[in-house]
Amino acid sequence: MINIDSRSSKPIYEQVVDGIKENIIKGILQPGDKLPSVRELSAILTTNPNTISKAYKELERQKAIETIRGKGTYVASNYEAKIDKDKLEVLKKQMKNIVIEAHYMGMEKDKVINLLEEVYKELRE
């Protein structure tokens, strides 16, 4: 379901957020699907429950999931994508770094675009 890299510089809660979002994009998780409880997911991933709680709070803030008291946490059924200007700037910087790395690997623009399309297709399959 979600892969955690303990050697990554990315915080674990962000890896959980990214993993759940990836599963939603891939269709593994559908709108209305019930997610494991904080304790269940922390046991599965062998992480601190506070880490999972922080990830769930972030996903709720982004309106990707919703928690119904006494019933559990679910993939949001009414999610609407919206552009967050701050996140867009972060994304732009990350893409710039990718283009720089690709250039120094000898990749031309069309190959970088093809690679991006390949990754996008992989997420949509």
Domain locations in the chain? 12-75, 85-124
Q: Is the pLDDT of residue 108 over 80?
A: yes
pLDDT score for 94 = 94
Distance CA 78, CA 50 (A): 27
How sure is the predictor about 86, in pLDDT bands with cuts at 50, 70 and 90?
A: confident
State whether CATH 3.40.50.720 applies to domain 12-75: no
DSSP E strand stretches across 15-60? 34-35
* Residue of 92, 26, 33, 96 lying closest to 66 (CA atoms): 33
pTM given for the model = 0.76
Residues of the chain above pLDDT 90, percent: 78
Backbone angles phi, psi at 70, to 5 degrees: 80, -10
pLDDT score for 52 = 96
